[in-house]
Each structure stands twice: as structure tokens, then as C-alpha cells.
Amino acid sequence: MIVCIPTQENRGLDSDAFAHFGSAPAFIFHNTDTGETRFRESNSQHDSHGSCNPTRTLMGESVDAVITGGMGARAVELLNSMGVRVYLAKTGTISSNVEALKKQELMELTVQNACGHHGMNGGGCGH
């Protein structure tokens, strides 16, 4: 499974998960099957809050899941329509969040519990 986690800096799996997907400066892509980890700077970090476009952010990437500190309902809905599941990160490193995902300890974000201050229902994030 390929997991995408927003981050601020490239410390590999020791990087911290970033608070919000749409404003993340960079992303770590981790393949849980092969152990391969790649870093990529964001191509949309200057978008205004609430105008996140995950399709553009993940362009050219094959991703099965996103682990993030927060995401708006529209972005969750778009990712879900692409077959990507979204999970709420716990405080800590990317490594600890990937392990929590493997153990099914992370809450899945849905349209109903995503960040609600972008004009959508919900309100599940605290960033």
C-alpha cells in the first residue's frame, strides 16, 4: 500500500505529520510493502485555505491512503472518488502513524467528520 503523509521537512519516516493536507509544504510517499520512502515538495502550498486540490497535489502518484492532521470535506470526497482512503494522523512521526494505520488504529476521515470550516458540514479537525 502506498501512503501519502503531508510534512514540513524531509527527515524520512522520522518527519512529523503536518497539521493540514492543503497547506503542507511537502509530502512523504511511503510504500508499506517495499519500505521505499520518497519526499516531494508541494506544488500547491500557496493555495488559499479551503481551495486544496488533492488531484493536483497527487498528480502522477499512485496512492492508496492519505494520513493527515486535517482535511476539508471537499478534498476527502474527491480523494474517496479516486479510491483513496483518508485517515486522521495522531501526533507524532510518519513512522508511528504508518504503524498505527497498519494496526487499524487511525480514524478514517469522511465527508461527515472532515474539517468543517470550509463551508461544509463536519468539524472533525482541530488545526
Span 94-121, pLDDT tens digits: 999 999 999 999 999 998 888 764 433 3
- The range of the structural domain enclosing residue 47 comes to 2-109
What are 29-64's pLDDT values in tens digits?
999 999 999 999 887 654 455 555 666 778 788 999
Q: Residue 23's pLDDT band (boundaries 50, 70, 90)?
A: confident
Contact 113, 79 (CB under 8 A): no
User: In terms of DSSP H, where are the helices of the chain?
Assistant: 54-57, 73-81, 94-102
Residue 27 lies in a domain: yes
Residue 32 lies in a domain: yes
More confident call, 56 vs 86: 86
What integer pLDDT is reported at residue 24 of this predicted model?
A: 86
Residue 117 lies in a domain: no
What integer pLDDT is reported at residue 95 of this predicted model?
A: 96
Residue 38 lies in a domain: yes
What integer pLDDT is reported at residue 38 of this predicted model?
A: 94
Measuring CA to CA, how many Å separate 116 from each of 9, 19, 22, 65, 71? 27, 15, 14, 21, 9
Residue 40 lies in a domain: yes
- Kindly state the average pLDDT of the residues 73-98: 93
Residue 88 lies in a domain: yes
- Report the CATH number at residue 73: 3.30.420.130
Provide the number of structural domains found in the chain: 1
Residue 126 lies in a domain: no
More confident call, 44 vs 3: 3
Residue 105 lies in a domain: yes
Q: What pTM was computed for the model?
A: 0.83
